[in-house]
Amino acid sequence: MAKPSQATWGGRFTAAPAELMLQFSESVSFDRRLAPFDIAGSKAHSAMLAHVGLITTKERDAIHAGLDEIRAEIEAGTFRWDVKFEDVHMNIEQALTKRVPAAAKLHTARSRNDQVATDMRLFFKHACGGLQEKILGAQRALLTVAEANRDVLIPGYTHLQRAQPVYLAHHLFAWLEMLERDRARLADVAEHANWCPLGSGAIAGTTLPIDREFTARALGFVDARGRAQVTQNSMDTVADRDLFIEFAHACALLGVHFSRMAEDLILWSSAEFKFVELPDAFCTGSSLMPQKKNPDSCELLRGKSARLQGNLHTLLTLTKGLPLTYNRDLQEDKPPVFDSLDQAAICADVLAGTIAGMTVHAARCAEAVADPALLATDLADYLVLRGVPFRDAHHAVGAVVRLAEKQGVALNQLSFADVRAVHAAFAADWQQVFDLQRALARRTGTGMPGPRQLARQIARWRTLLGGRKARR
C-alpha cells in the first residue's frame, strides 16, 4: 500500500491538500500550547489500552518513553512543529510514530474529536486554577492597601454624586467581593471541566473493549471521593463547547470588574479628585504635554474588558448554528479561549501592580468627606428617632439643605432657630449628627461601613485570602 501524503487520514485520498488549504486549516500555530495536556491524554489512553489488553505493556512503555522524549523536546524548544500535520495532535503522533513503531496503535479507539475535548478539559482545569491564583494576588494587594489606610474616609458615590461617607477600605472591600465571585466562578468552571471525554470516539464510541473509567482516573477526572467521572453521551461530548463559553464568560465578567475598578481609579487619580496617586511604573507621559501623567494601566484594563467580551461573543456565535456533532468550525474555538486566559491573567497582574504602588492622599480624602451634606440622611434618621415618619423627615431635611444653599453656608452652619423653624422635632443637639466618627460608628449592621464591621471584614479577608497578615 502506498504511503498517503497525510498519514493519519490520507488513505482514501489521491491528492494532497493544497498549500493554501494547509495554511488555512492548520491550528498547530496556536493549539501547540495544548501539548502537555495532549501528551498526558495519550499516556493515559495508552495505559488503558494496555490495561485492557489492546496493546502490550512493552508497547505502552515504548509509547510512554517516546512521549516523554517529545515533551522534553517541546519544553526545550527543539521540537519541529509542522503545519503539514495540521494540529498539535497529529504533530505529536507523527513524531512519535517515527521513533516508536508501536505508536501506530496509539490512536486505537480514539478520535481527534474526543482527544481535543479531553485536551481542552485538562486545559480548563489548569487555566482556572492559574487564573484564580492571579486574582488572589490582586486581592491581596487590595487588602494591603485597605489595611494600610484603614482610617481613611471618603465620600461614597451614587450617580457619581457624593452620597454618604464610607471608609476607603469599605470601597476596596467591595472590589474584593467582586473578585471573590470571579474566583468562585472559575472554581465552578473547573468543576464542570472535570469529566473525561475519552472513549466517546469520533461520535459513537468504539466497538473495542475499552475501560473509560481507567482513563478518567489516570487523568484525574475524579470526584472528591476519587470516583471516575466520564461524560455520559458520546455525541454531546464531541459537540459540547459549553466550557469554552463558561470560561470566556468568567473572564469577560472578571474583565468587567477590572474595568469598573479601573474607572474608579482613573477618577480618583484625576486632579478633580486626587484621592490617590498611581505609581509611575504603571503610568505613561505625553509626547507633547510635559506635565501629563496618564493612568494607562487602568485605561487598558478598561479597554481589555471589551476584548474579553468579544471573545465570549465569538464563541457564542461560533456554536449557535452548528448541527451536532463535531464540525470543523469548532477549531476556531481555541484562539478566543487562549486570548481570554492570557489577557485576564495579565490584567490581574497589572491591577495588583497598580494597586500595590498606589499612594492614598489622606488629606484630600478627608477634605472631600468633610462635606456635611454627606450626612443629610443621618439628619433624617435623627428626626426618625424623634418620632418623625421618614417621608416627613426626608422632606424636612430637604428644606434644611435648600435653606443652607440659599444662605450660602454648610449644612451644619445653619442656626438652631432656622432648622427649628423647618421642623419642631429638631433639638439643640441636632449638630451632633455631623460628627463623622460618630456617624460611622452607628453603622453597626453586617455589610455596613462602620468601624466594627471594618475590623470584622479585615479579619475575614485575611482568612479568605490566605490568613497572611497584610503588611502595613
- Where in the sequence numbering do the catalytic residues fall? 159, 286
Residue 128 near residue 189 (C-beta atoms within 8 A): yes
Piece of 38-46, 181-189, 325-333, 351-359 that binds ligand ARG (CB under 6 A): 325-333
SS3 260: helix
- Residue 170 touches ligand ARG, criterion: CB under 6 A: no
Residue in 87, 15, 168, 20 with CA at minimum distance from that of residue 331: 87
- Residue 380 touches ligand ARG, criterion: CB under 6 A: no
Cα of 132 vs its chain's centroid, Å: 7
- Residue 87 touches ligand ARG, criterion: CB under 6 A: yes
- Strand 161-167 relative to strand 276-277: parallel, antiparallel, unpaired? unpaired
Grid coordinates given for 250? 468568567
Residue 410 near residue 404 (C-beta atoms within 8 A): yes
**Least distance CB 61 / ligand ARG (angstroms):** 27
Residue by residue, DSSP assigns 106-141 as: TTTT--HHHHHHHHHHHHHHHHHHHHHHHHHHHHHH
- Residue 134 touches ligand ARG, criterion: CB under 6 A: no
Which CB atom, from 59 or from 114, has the smaller least distance to ligand ARG? Answer: 114
Residue 232 near residue 267 (C-beta atoms within 8 A): no
- 116, 166, 198, 374: which one binds ligand ARG (CB under 6 A): 116
Cα(276)–Cα(287) distance, rounded to whole angstroms? 24
- 95, 172, 239, 330: which one binds ligand ARG (CB under 6 A): 330
**Least distance CB 235 / ligand ARG (angstroms):** 14
Residue 131 near residue 189 (C-beta atoms within 8 A): no
**Least distance CB 33 / ligand ARG (angstroms):** 12
**Least distance CB 112 / ligand ARG (angstroms):** 4
Q: Residues 6 or more apart from 252 whose CB is under 8 A from it? A: 305, 308, 309, 311, 312, 340
Which CB atom, from 60 or from 121, has the smaller least distance to ligand ARG? Answer: 121
Which CB atom, from 114 or from 378, has the smaller least distance to ligand ARG? Answer: 114
**Least distance CB 22 / ligand ARG (angstroms):** 13
- Residue 318 touches ligand ARG, criterion: CB under 6 A: no
The end-to-end CA distance of the chain, in Å, is 74
- 173, 247, 326, 382: which one binds ligand ARG (CB under 6 A): 326
Which CB atom, from 203 or from 362, has the smaller least distance to ligand ARG? Answer: 203
- Residue 118 touches ligand ARG, criterion: CB under 6 A: no
**Least distance CB 371 / ligand ARG (angstroms):** 59
- 46, 113, 259, 314: which one binds ligand ARG (CB under 6 A): 113
The greatest distance separating any two alpha carbons of the chain, rounded to the nearest whole angstrom, comes to 108
Grid coordinates given for 251? 473572564
Which CB atom, from 112 or from 121, has the smaller least distance to ligand ARG? Answer: 112
- DSSP H or E run through 276: strand 276-277
- Residue 39 touches ligand ARG, criterion: CB under 6 A: no
- Residue 131 touches ligand ARG, criterion: CB under 6 A: no
Which CB atom, from 37 or from 434, has the smaller least distance to ligand ARG? Answer: 37
**Least distance CB 331 / ligand ARG (angstroms):** 4
Which CB atom, from 153 or from 330, has the smaller least distance to ligand ARG? Answer: 330
- 43, 60, 110, 112: which one binds ligand ARG (CB under 6 A): 112
Which CB atom, from 59 or from 333, has the smaller least distance to ligand ARG? Answer: 333
- Residue 55 touches ligand ARG, criterion: CB under 6 A: no
Residue pointed to by grid coordinates 486549516: 25
Cα(224)–Cα(242) distance, rounded to whole angstroms? 23
Piece of 111-119, 153-161, 386-394, 408-416 that binds ligand ARG (CB under 6 A): 111-119
Residue in 354, 169, 330, 190 with CA at minimum distance from that of residue 258: 354
Piece of 135-143, 261-269, 326-334, 462-470 that binds ligand ARG (CB under 6 A): 326-334
Per-position b or e across 149-159, b if 16+ CB within 10 A of its CB: bbebbbbbeee
Handedness of CA 156, 280, 254, 131 (dihedral sign): negative
**Least distance CB 299 / ligand ARG (angstroms):** 35
Contacting residues toward ligand ARG, per CB under 6 A: 27, 87, 112-113, 116, 326, 328, 330-331
